[in-house]
Amino acid sequence: MNEYDPFATSDLWRCSHLQPLSGKASLFDDVPEFDLPTLDDSDLISESPVYQLDLLELTAQHEDSNVELDVLDGFPSSETTESLSANSDEKDDIWALNLDSFDESNRPSLYTWEAFQKKDVANTTRTAYLSEAGSEAFDAALSSSNGSTGVLPRDVALRALCSLALGRSSIFFRWDEIKQRFMQTLGGTPTAGLSVPASDSFAAELMAYAGLYRRLQAYSASGSPRKNPSAVVLAFKRSVASVLEAIEGSIVACTQSVQTLLQLQCATRLPRQLLQLLETLKDAVDGANSDEAAICVLSDTIDAVVATNNDFAGVLEAMLTQVSRPWLTRLAGEVGLIEQPHLTSRAAEETAINGDGMSPSNMSELPVSLPSNSLFTAEDQTLLHETRATVKLLRTHLPETVRYDGHSLDQVYDSDPVWEAPEQQQQHVLLEQDVWASHQAQQQFYGAIDNQMSSTPNISQRGPHDSIHVIASEALTPQHDPTENHHFHLDIAQKPFDLLRAFVEVQAQRVNGFLLRHLFRDCRLRQHLDIQRAFHCLGNAEFVSRLCTALFSEETQSAERRRGTLSNGKTMGLRLGVQEQRWPPASSELRLALADVLTEVYHSSQAVVKGDGSKSDLPGGLSFAIRELPEAEIDRVMDAGSIFALDFLRLQYAAPPPLDTILTPGSMQRYDEVFRFMLRMVRAVYVAARIGSDRGQHQPPSVTTITARFALEARHVTAMLMSYFVDIGIAAPWLDLQHSLDTVERALEANNAMKVGINALRDMHEHFLESARGRLFLKRKQQPIRTAIEDVLIALFRAVACVQSEGDSSLLASKHEAFGAAVVRLIHILQAIVDKPAKGHASSDSTDDDGLMAGILLAKLNWNEFYHKRQL
């Protein structure tokens, strides 16, 4: 046999490689030949088997004290022999051998295995075993036993099987395109030297392997469908093609030296295992409906295989790296690390659906997290979403700030993810633009290029596309040690995004700094927020005063146009509460009455004047407008004496981009909700402050007394409610927002790494609005408190209407009593909330706790326990 190759022998009956010794017939020529005497058959018959052959042990049982063993030479002594002869009836003593008397010619001759094939040796021309007679005898016997037509020549069959191992058809095997498998043209015809079951089993095993190779080869050669172009799927197919090329090279190298079927079977063992892994990955990728899903299932599958210490773990990890490359390149382009790769219209549409494409107008409406899978943690999803949104805004509004440190993903990997202040980055950009400004700068530029070209090339450890082929070829080597492939393993714990995480984090700090500076300095974010505080939240006293005059004052001129009536130049207003005033007003009346309120207040506080001396337009198109109401609320607006009479009035504001990412349509809707509620309270305070101010001298003393007591109580209740809503409901959360914004601006001025991005900035603003809504009892769960407050205001307006109509004392007393009862119900509801036991877990923000806010309002309304003992 060949050295270290047990499968090299095709016939187990082949002659031994042991050659006869030259000059000698045997290795044992010096062995003496023993001439033993013959025994008669009668001597073998005895009464007892013991006497058939006298052995020492048996003789010793006769208790012959004279028997002694000669342990030195291994034979009985002469005395012992004579004693045994005397006690036995044997004629000849077989132990009495004279070794010196043997003749050299009588010695036996020993032969090698080849000596038995010589014709001059007796009984060696025929063998008793069919397996030792040769393959021809086996094939002949097989044909005679089952009537077979013949067998396939071994060399021809071996060449066909080698072609089959490469996925190629031959005269014995053909590929069926419909069934997608190989078929045997001569089924039931065995290969020479094999039985039919053994030959069919071997062929079936190799056809299954070849069919899998052929299907994967067709899959890797096919392009991506036009309906669903996927760079990840194309990269996976290219990786499969590289592995198949490595398998083909391994099989070709083995078939050049294959001499037996056993060798061919051994050569296809490792490729078969690798093909089965590829088929598993292919089935997993085919079921994915997006790039993220494909990479996710590949990562999970490869993690499971690597955990079993598979021989091809290095190949699979290299494939994961290569397949993830287009997806990571797209992510790197979206976050501004490299130039964004070109996307087809279909890919761009899918990107937008998956939440990847963002514009300043719709960014706030998209979900914060990416599709949930094992590729990202919750922090990764937030980081990616915010960074992509920020880069999208910068590309739209500040394209010069988005610079690319590298032109490819490899250049990003080779760089260091070190944060740099935006001012320093801007200086680098400017320096690059000014390279040709002077002769010295040009010389420095060319010198740097010369040094770079003269230096040793920096070869990236992340090999090119053929790295998969190299790793697979090494893994398919029979002598390959799988532990040597550890240098190919990804140092990312099989999570592709880990390669980019550090770079994305640094990039997020960079773009956050650019965008926040643009928002605070160029877009004047804080000024726009101040506008919402001053107008929507009624935080500007001048605006509240002018608005009350335009809406409620009886001294203003009616804005209603009447035939034959000329304007006298006085201030116009809606005169809400005047009995002869038509309600609701027309849109033209509304514009006339409120035309100058916003403009005068804004410019008096901002002092914003154009270069030509004219006043600039209001930011965001700030103006009064008509609110669309459902039919159920329209009837309430028709009643001028109702607290809902002004619900149709709203402030219209649209934040300019990119401020619309902070002042989103959703946040403006919450501002409108606050404005609507606070306008009711302004009207209630205005009305309560004027109860009985001009009618006391015309009323009886009893009515005057009741009116005075009612006016005192009404002013106390409305003042306390308004004080709570302004100071606790709006001012306190607003101070928290200002403190957060101050912290961000200080970090910007210090050029610190900005970990706060646009999402965090928007969350600060949203937190302010939600906190204010909770303190104003505008949330759905606070409906009982809000309804009780509305009942107090409704009772107030009914009592005021009775006072204005100069009703009698009994009617006025009943209205006063109804107002007091409404206040008492509100007090009891607040007290019940305060007395409610706290939950087992602490609130995330104690200042927003309903019990705490209810306790503050209760203390303001019932500070002297005036309503404490009053019953409902």
pLDDT, one tens digit per residue, over 283-299 is 888 878 888 888 888 88
User: Residues 514, 611: one domain?
Assistant: no
Cα–Cα–Cα angle for 109, 114, 116, rounded to 5 degrees: 60
Instruction: Give the tokens for residue 725.
Output: 């809503």
The number of angstroms, rounded, from the C-alpha of 58 to the middle of its chain's C-alpha atoms is: 88
Predicted confidence at residue 131, as pLDDT, reads 64
Nearest Cα neighbor of 559 from 580, 586, 596 is 586
Across residues 404-426, what is the average pLDDT?
58
Is the distance from CB of 247 to CB of 275 less than 8 angstroms? Answer: yes
Is the distance from CB of 266 to CB of 256 less than 8 angstroms? Answer: no
User: Residues 355, 365: one domain?
Assistant: yes
Is the distance from CB of 674 to CB of 537 less than 8 angstroms? Answer: yes
Does a cis peptide bond (omega within 30 degrees of 0) precede residue 658? yes
Across residues 383-394, what is the average pLDDT?
88
Exposed e or buried b per residue across 184-221, where buried means at least 16 C-beta atoms within 10 angstroms of its C-beta = beeeebbbbbbebeebbebbeebbebbbbbbbbbebbe
**Rounded to whole angstroms, how far apart are CA atoms 58 and 87?**
12
User: Residues 703, 851: one domain?
Assistant: yes
Mean pLDDT comparison of 32-41, 190-199, 231-240, 399-408, highest-scoring range: 231-240
Looking at the domain assignment, is residue 139 inside a domain?
A: no
Looking at the domain assignment, is residue 597 inside a domain?
A: yes
User: Residues 499, 552: one domain?
Assistant: no
Question: What is the secondary structure of 792-819 as a DSSP string?
Answer: HHHHHHHHHHHHHTT--HHHHHHHHHHH
Scan for tokens 């700090």, then name that residue: 509
Name the pLDDT band for 826 (thresholds 50, 70, 90).
very high
User: Residues 544, 510: one domain?
Assistant: no
User: Residues 546, 621: one domain?
Assistant: yes
User: Residues 837, 775: one domain?
Assistant: yes
Instruction: Give the tokens for residue 547.
Output: 């608005």
Across residues 198-226, what is the average pLDDT?
86
Is the distance from CB of 382 to CB of 368 less than 8 angstroms? Answer: yes
Contacts of 867 (CB under 8 A, 6+ apart): 820, 823, 824, 827, 861
Predicted confidence at residue 431, as pLDDT, reads 42
Nearest Cα neighbor of 317 from 308, 330, 306 is 306
Predicted confidence at residue 91, as pLDDT, reads 53
Name the pLDDT band for 314 (thresholds 50, 70, 90).
confident
Contacts of 362 (CB under 8 A, 6+ apart): none
Predicted confidence at residue 303, as pLDDT, reads 83
User: With 60 as the cut, is the pLDDT of residue 312 above it?
Assistant: yes
User: With 80 as the cut, is the pLDDT of residue 466 above it?
Assistant: no
DSSP state for residue 191 in the 8-state scheme: B
Nearest Cα neighbor of 500 from 614, 383, 598 is 383
Mean pLDDT, the chain, whole residue set: 75
Q: Which residue has the higher pLDDT, 2 or 829?
A: 829
Q: At what angle do helices 231-255 and 291-307 cross, to 10 degrees?
A: 40
Q: Which H or E run contains 209?
A: helix 196-221
Question: What is the secondary structure of 144-189 as a DSSP string?
Answer: HHHT----B-HHHHHHHHHHHHTT---SSEEEETTTTEEEETTTT-
**Rounded to whole angstroms, how far apart are CA atoms 743 and 741?**
5
Across residues 36-43, what is the average pLDDT?
56
The number of domains in the chain is 4
β-pairing verdict for 181-184 and 173-176? antiparallel
Q: How far is CA 865 from CA 208, 520, 624, 824, 861, in A?
A: 92, 48, 42, 11, 9
Is the distance from CB of 719 to CB of 860 less than 8 angstroms? Answer: no
Strands (E), 535-652: 557-558, 572-573, 623-626, 649-652
**Rounded to whole angstroms, how far apart are CA atoms 461 and 490?**
11
Nearest Cα neighbor of 650 from 727, 560, 547, 559 is 547
User: With 90 as the cut, is the pLDDT of residue 737 above it?
Assistant: yes
Q: Which residue has the higher pLDDT, 150 or 640?
A: 640
Predicted confidence at residue 21, as pLDDT, reads 44
Name the pLDDT band for 641 (thresholds 50, 70, 90).
confident
User: With 50 as the cut, is the pLDDT of residue 366 above it?
Assistant: no
Predicted confidence at residue 4, as pLDDT, reads 47
Read off φ and ψ for residue 295, nearest 5 degrees: -70, -35
User: Residues 349, 379: one domain?
Assistant: yes
Percent of the chain with pLDDT strictly greater than 70: 64
Strands (E), 577-723: 623-626, 649-652
Name the pLDDT band for 271 (thresholds 50, 70, 90).
very high
**Rounded to whole angstroms, how far apart are CA atoms 795 and 816?**
8
Is the distance from CB of 739 to CB of 731 less than 8 angstroms? Answer: no
Predicted confidence at residue 122, as pLDDT, reads 59
**Rounded to whole angstroms, how far apart are CA atoms 458 and 485?**
22
Across residues 782-798, what is the average pLDDT?
93
Is the distance from CB of 59 to CB of 84 less than 8 angstroms? Answer: yes
**Rounded to whole angstroms, how far apart are CA atoms 658 and 650?**
24
Nearest Cα neighbor of 419 from 477, 319, 503, 500 is 503
Across residues 75-96, what is the average pLDDT?
52
Question: What is the secondary structure of 406-457 as a DSSP string?
Answer: -SSHHHHHHS------HHHHHHHHHHHHTGGGSHHHHHHHHHHHHHHHHSPP
The number of angstroms, rounded, from the C-alpha of 209 to the middle of its chain's C-alpha atoms is: 35
User: With 70 as the cut, is the pLDDT of residue 398 above it?
Assistant: yes
Q: How many Cα atoms occupy the beta-carbon half-sphere of 265 within 13 Å?
A: 12
Cα–Cα–Cα angle for 82, 87, 93, rounded to 5 degrees: 55
3-state secondary structure of 841: coil
Name the pLDDT band for 555 (thresholds 50, 70, 90).
confident
Looking at the domain assignment, is residue 262 inside a domain?
A: no
User: With 70 as the cut, is the pLDDT of residue 23 above it?
Assistant: no
User: Residues 534, 513: one domain?
Assistant: no
Looking at the domain assignment, is residue 253 inside a domain?
A: no
Bridge partners, 650 (sequence order):
625
Q: Which H or E run contains 752?
A: none
Query: Residue 50 sits in which domain range?
Result: 41-96
User: Residues 528, 507: one domain?
Assistant: no
Question: What is the secondary structure of 620-635 as a DSSP string?
Answer: GG-EEEEPP--HHHHH
User: With 60 as the cut, is the pLDDT of residue 367 above it?
Assistant: no
Is the distance from CB of 673 to CB of 681 less than 8 angstroms? Answer: no
Predicted confidence at residue 579, as pLDDT, reads 62
In tens, the pLDDT along 675-725 reads: 999 999 999 999 999 887 755 455 677 777 888 889 999 999 999 999 999
**Rounded to whole angstroms, how far apart are CA atoms 674 and 471?**
66
User: Residues 533, 502: one domain?
Assistant: no
Q: Which residue has the higher pLDDT, 69 or 454?
A: 454
Across residues 194-201, what is the average pLDDT?
84
Looking at the domain assignment, is residue 339 inside a domain?
A: yes
**Rounded to whole angstroms, how far apart are CA atoms 232 and 320?**
10
Predicted confidence at residue 84, as pLDDT, reads 47
In tens, the pLDDT along 476-507 reads: 887 666 555 444 444 434 577 887 888 888 88
User: Which range (261-265, 453-457, 818-822) has the least confidence?
Assistant: 453-457
Predicted confidence at residue 188, as pLDDT, reads 74
> What is the amino acid identity at position 396?
T
Looking at the domain assignment, is residue 724 inside a domain?
A: yes
Instruction: Give the tokens for residue 662.
Output: 């902070």
Percent of the chain with pLDDT strictly greater than 90: 24
User: With 60 as the cut, is the pLDDT of residue 868 above it?
Assistant: yes
Looking at the domain assignment, is residue 799 inside a domain?
A: yes
**Rounded to whole angstroms, how far apart are CA atoms 422 and 510?**
6
Task: Read off the pTM.
Answer: 0.67
Predicted confidence at residue 58, as pLDDT, reads 43
Nearest Cα neighbor of 537 from 765, 726, 738 is 726
Q: How far is CA 343 from CA 231, 262, 352, 492, 504, in A?
A: 10, 52, 11, 28, 21
CA atoms 703, 706, 712, 714: torsion sign: negative
Strands (E), 262-371: none
Name the pLDDT band for 30 (thresholds 50, 70, 90).
low
In tens, the pLDDT along 567-619 reads: 555 667 787 876 666 788 888 788 888 878 898 898 887 654 444 445 567 88
Across residues 56-73, what is the average pLDDT?
44
**Rounded to whole angstroms, how far apart are CA atoms 26 and 3?**
25
Instruction: Give the tokens for residue 305.
Output: 């295989």
End-to-end CA distance of the chain: 112
Instruction: Give the tokens for residue 637.
Output: 């607006």
Instruction: Give the tokens for residue 802.
Output: 């009775």
Bridge partners, 652 (sequence order):
623
Nearest Cα neighbor of 569 from 557, 578, 561 is 557
For the beta carbon of residue 457, count every other beta carbon within 10 angstroms.
Answer: 7
**Rounded to whole angstroms, how far apart are CA atoms 764 and 661?**
12
User: Residues 758, 857: one domain?
Assistant: yes
Across residues 209-218, what is the average pLDDT?
92
3-state secondary structure of 60: helix
Is the distance from CB of 854 to CB of 834 less than 8 angstroms? Answer: yes
User: With 50 as the cut, is the pLDDT of residue 438 above it?
Assistant: yes
Is the distance from CB of 400 to CB of 425 less than 8 angstroms? Answer: no
Mean pLDDT comparison of 70-74, 416-420, 620-624, highest-scoring range: 620-624
Looking at the domain assignment, is residue 313 inside a domain?
A: no
Nearest Cα neighbor of 159 from 150, 151, 168 is 168
Name the pLDDT band for 636 (thresholds 50, 70, 90).
confident
Predicted confidence at residue 830, as pLDDT, reads 92
Scan for tokens 């003393």, then name that residue: 701
Predicted confidence at residue 97, as pLDDT, reads 54
